[in-house]
Structure 1
Amino acid sequence: MIKTCNPRWLLALFCLVTAMAAAQAQTAKLPNVMVLATGGTIAGTGATSTTTVGYTAATVGVDQLIKAVPELSKIANVKGEQVFQIASESMTNEHWLALGKRVNALLAQNDVDGIVITHGTDTMEETGYFLDLVVKSRKPVILVGAMRPSTALSADGPINLYNAVAIAGSPDAIGKGVMLALNDQIHSARDVTKTNTSTPDSFKTPELGLMGYIQGGKPFFYRVSTRKHTADTEFDIASLSALPQVDIVYGYANMNPVALDAFVAAGAKGIIHAGVGDGSLAARVKPALIAARKKGTIIVRSSRVGQGILARNGEANDDELDFVAADTLNPQKARILLMLALTKTNNTREIQRMFYTY
């Protein structure tokens, strides 16, 4: 005798199968975002919930960072990978090369639509600009961090991470270069800088302005950089195992050439002179800069001011001295571009072209 099926049971089974199919379809439509963790304050912990300074950076792993923001599953298929676990003041050229190569390898995969990199804020702008010059893809790469550790009452890491994933998975972010996402704002890696030691609104793009905002899990763009970046650059790190030594000499009243001479003696291939004002050269230091250039060291005049164009042939006759002007790049970013430039050429005219291009 054949028993008849319970209609209610059949209906329940049908609803379950339909719901599972709908869930799978929804998951398939979500962008695939890879989170590469490098440490920093966003992965930091403090002694108490009110500890916002004096905490320990780089203690929380990537899986825990992702798990702390369950809302991520609604906007992207997120996977994590722990690349480094360091405070960003300890970031090195070797870290940059390894990170850049890993980013390029992942972006070459069809199942990766964008990348988020969690990073300490101290050198985030530098890592961002390095990647902006060496990433060989138009897919979004977003750096994100926090000004307060994960254990703080007012931790900004979770919402920053959520916003970064939202940008990385957005078609609107494609082709806009490497970006930073903090404090509900989107900044170009080339132009942004850290401006405050501890407040959540530390990252700003003076004068040139931020790129846009994140609101309701959606990026809104209002400005893009006109400088070439990512897939349009001439730099390729695929075969590089090291970067040329480039050091920064800071300008100040009563400056002397001791640091400059030490860097040159230690083998510096390039020097960024972070001069006062429009990159002025102190009378006591100028002869040492000229001597260094004659020995083959590339000299780039930058400024400690932080805003404005460094005028070529302004405070120094760059044509005569065979120096390079940093354009709008601050000293720490000028160092990055010069290192990469020196992997291609020692010609100062070519290097100056690069500074006006990137």
Structure 2
Amino acid sequence: MGVVLLALGGTISVAGSTQGARLTGAEITAAVPGLADLGIPLEVRDVRAVPSGSLTFAQILDVVDVASRAVAEGADGVVVTQGTDTLEETAFMVDLVWPHEAPFVLTGAMRQPAMAGADGPANVLAAVRVAAARDTHGAGALVVLNDEVHAARWVRKTHSTSPATFASPSAGPLGHVVEGRVRMLLAPPRHEPLPVGIDRERLQAARVALHVVTLDDDGTQLHGLEATHQGLVVAGFGVGHVPDVLAPRLGALAEHLPVVLTSRTGSGSVLRHTYSAPGSETDLRRRGLIDGGFLDPYKARVLLRLLLATGAGHGDIVEAFALRG
């Protein structure tokens, strides 16, 4: 059947200077030089025109449902075009629930179509090639921009405006598109997907806060969090440290809800038992915080919220982070 392209909104779909105007998927693909010459059957569908900053968990799961039906109907791969603001989070969410061997490729653009050097056409061309490539089957959700192929698990937006913004600081790209050929260098590990049929009401109720630790942080804004949220992700200093005065507050919260410890640095893992002072990773784990491993705060929040929405208990959450972190 070829590839199915699902168009959302974002910079790649901005139509000139008209306020709020959006290009359709057909208009986006029509502007891609060489796309029709690939010999890859391409079916284009418009899903919803919305900036990625306004996307919700439920909407992304709806897109996964549409993509799953396309694969069940014979599609060899799926491409989704969307805004880049939340691309690293939506890609990871898809990767957690995607049950198919067919690749799910996400792409977008940093420059609007009317701008000089617009990158959308090249990114769409590369994404379609990756979605149709034999070597990408079984790789889960992939992010393709700037002729690089990144695993959803590792990719991050690292610059506010650069077309080369997407990178995987802890792992590097899985592959590249070179002279029109998809060259996969690495294969990401795959785990059993989370249930895709998540109850939307339970998902809405699974509120997870993110607290970025800062200098002289006493955690005042965390007071009462256990009454309003079901989970918390902490983005700590460096390898997973917080001010000593904050540690007891986090420990008290961990008695009521899962609290996941991550690093705010953008790459690397939190440690487990190298430092032992109050507020260190050892101290926080002793107080009940869950080790987030290599997961950055944004992806840890995605995983924790999906786990809570599936009804996972504390032990299941600890196990899931040990496996995927």
Please report the TM-score for the alignment, with normalisation by the length of structure 1.
0.82
Residue 101 (structure 1) aligned to one of 50, 57, 65: 65
Matched, 1:309 2:269: yes
Matched, 1:86 2:45: no
Match of 1:33 in 2: 3
Q: Secondary structure at the match of 2:307?
A: helix
Counting aligned pairs with the same residue, the percent is 31
Maintained 8 Å contact 1:156/1:200: yes
Amino acid at match of 1:35: L
Q: Secondary structure at the match of 2:7?
A: strand
Match of 1:241 in 2: 200
Cα distance in 2, alignment partners of residues 193 and 263 from structure 1: 28
Residue 270 (structure 1) aligned to one of 225, 231, 235: 231
Q: Secondary structure at the match of 1:305?
A: coil
Amino acid at match of 1:257: G
Q: Secondary structure at the match of 1:175?
A: coil
Cα deviation, residue 274, structure 1: 0.6
Query: For structure 2, which runs of at least 5 residues remain unmatched after alignment?
Result: 275-280
Task: Map 1:331-350 to 2 at 5 A.
Answer: 331-350=297-316
Match of 2:259 in 1: 299
Cα deviation, residue 285, structure 1: 2.3
Residue 283 (structure 1) aligned to one of 233, 237, 244: 244
Q: Secondary structure at the match of 1:84?
A: coil
Cα distance in 2, alignment partners of residues 118 and 127 from structure 1: 11
Maintained 8 Å contact 1:58/1:86: no
CA distance change for structure 1 residues 193 and 320 in 2, over 3 Å: closer, same or farther?
Answer: same
Cα deviation, residue 331, structure 1: 0.3
Task: Map 1:126-145 to 2 at 5 A.
Answer: 126-145=89-108
Amino acid at match of 1:162: L
Q: Secondary structure at the match of 2:200?
A: coil
Residue 320 (structure 1) aligned to one of 262, 269, 286: 286
Maintained 8 Å contact 2:247/2:284: no
Matched, 1:260 2:231: no
Maintained 8 Å contact 1:61/1:82: yes
Maintained 8 Å contact 2:195/2:310: no
Matched, 1:329 2:290: no
CA distance change for structure 1 residues 342 and 216 in 2, over 3 Å: closer, same or farther?
Answer: same
Maintained 8 Å contact 2:33/2:121: no
Residue 250 (structure 1) aligned to one of 212, 219, 236: 212
Maintained 8 Å contact 2:61/2:94: no
Compare CA radii of gyration and give the structure with the larger one. 1
Amino acid at match of 1:273: V
Cα deviation, residue 58, structure 1: 7.0
CA distance change for structure 1 residues 201 and 190 in 2, over 3 Å: closer, same or farther?
Answer: same
Residue 220 (structure 1) aligned to one of 165, 180, 183: 183
Amino acid at match of 1:302: T
Matched, 1:353 2:319: yes
Cα deviation, residue 237, structure 1: 2.2
Amino acid at match of 1:237: V
CA distance change for structure 1 residues 58 and 93 in 2, over 3 Å: closer, same or farther?
Answer: farther
Cα deviation, residue 356, structure 1: 2.8
Maintained 8 Å contact 2:217/2:246: yes
Q: Number of residues paired by the alignment?
A: 314
Q: Secondary structure at the match of 1:167?
A: helix
